[in-house]
Amino acid sequence: MKDIKYLTERAISLLKDLIRTQSFSGEEGGTASLIAAWLEAEGIPYQQRDHNIYAFNADYQEDKPLLLLNSHHDTVKPNSAYTRDPYSPDVADGKLFGLGSNDAGGCLVSLLATFAYWYPQKDLSHNIVIIASAEEENSGPNGLNSMLSVLPPIDVAIVGEPTLMQLAIAEKGLVIFEGEVHGTPSHAAHPNDNNSLYNCIPVLEWFKNYRFEKVSEVLGEVKLTVTQIAGGSQHNVVPAKVDLVIDVRVNDCYSNAEIAEILQEEAPCDLKPRSLRLNSSSIPADHALVKAGLSLGRSTYGSPTLSDQAALSCDSLKLGPGDSTRSHSADEFIYLYEIEEGIALYVQILEKFLR
């Protein structure tokens, strides 16, 4: 069995290498190679599909349920407010700086270390598969969602995202709608009582004031926000239509299909969803995995942010070192102690769950 201190040092070393290596969504070949080499050095056989790296525990037994450990190794592009080199894994004041350090490199390497700890152990209640997935940041077609068809059925999952190692037992889903508000096109010099731009005013008020009936105990209300509006091309022409984009964050009381049905029936404009696949995710508060975390002083909450949980239909828990508020920020960082504590807590939670 690998020593946790050794695995922690190896995890931090890998994270530094990952930071040095550009890995925008769809371009993760370099980081995939680093993860594969790390597993190989730890004596763990792995498989690769596109830029997704995955491995099973040594004592895999067909009749046992399957626990998924997952986090991603793609990043967004660095924003213009960076004052540091986003690809330089500098350590200062206990912070490891670099693009992807917090979202979600710290979670990924902590889960890899945790998997390496449990990999050789026998007589576990569950089989374990770890997936270092690609294309999380852009919800791309070759990420975790593409792996589900090649894996055995997953019974429960831990998705590594920065949660300060608190237990996110539910996560909001997402539906983006494209809307159209119509009117009569005309020359601006002539009267027009059916101006598509003016017609937007009551439509925007409707979206501003609309409330879905079901409120989640964990995730609260469904949040509906108009985020884009576009119409008109010339100063003297009233456009025939105005385009809207509506961002809907869905709680665990509704499926995305139900949200689409309700809004398409009730909204005062034409609406079309871009996709219905990013559903809300959750795990029962009395699940053994949640109880294991609670027994170690962790607390539960509902997460408003989207992750690879959206690809899963099984019970799933979002849990990881780092702070979500640092994600996609300039001069992104994670504290080294967060990784150390994260690995220790992952191992302890699984000690209670797998034994």
pLDDT surpasses 90 at 1 = no
Residue 2 pLDDT level (bands cut at 50, 70, 90): confident
| Residue percentage of the chain with pLDDT more than 70 | 100
For 235-268, the pLDDT digits (tens) are 999 999 999 999 999 999 999 999 999 999 999 9
Cα 131 to Cα 336: distance, rounded to the nearest angstrom: 23
Look up residue 6 and give its two tokens: 């050794």
Please state the rounded mean pLDDT for residues 64-91: 97
| Residue percentage of the chain with pLDDT more than 90 | 98
Contacts with 6 (C-beta within 8 Å, 6 or more apart), sequence order: none
> What local confidence, expressed as pLDDT, does residue 340 receive?
98
Strand 156-159, strand 66-72: pairing: parallel
Would the pTM of this model clear 0.95, i.e. be above it? no
Helix (H) or strand (E) holding 162: none
Look up residue 311 and give its two tokens: 């690809």
Cα 304 to Cα 102: distance, rounded to the nearest angstrom: 17
Domain 4-171+280-354 has CATH 3.40.630.10: yes
> What local confidence, expressed as pLDDT, does residue 128 receive?
98
CB atoms within 10 A of CB 6: 12
Between the alpha carbon of residue 226 and those of residues 105, 120, 209, 303, the distances in Å are 32, 51, 11, 21
Nearest CA-CA partner of 177 in 112, 110, 120, 262: 262
Average pLDDT, rounded, for the chain: 97
> What local confidence, expressed as pLDDT, does residue 27 receive?
97
> What local confidence, expressed as pLDDT, does residue 201 receive?
98
> What local confidence, expressed as pLDDT, does residue 202 receive?
98
Residue 268 backbone zone (phi > 0: left; psi -120 to 50: alpha; other: beta) = alpha
Domain ranges of the chain: 4-171+280-354, 173-273
For 292-347, the pLDDT digits (tens) are 999 999 999 999 888 999 999 999 999 999 999 999 999 999 999 999 999 999 99
Could you identify the residue written with the tokens 């797998």?
354
Q: Domain 173-273's class?
A: alpha beta
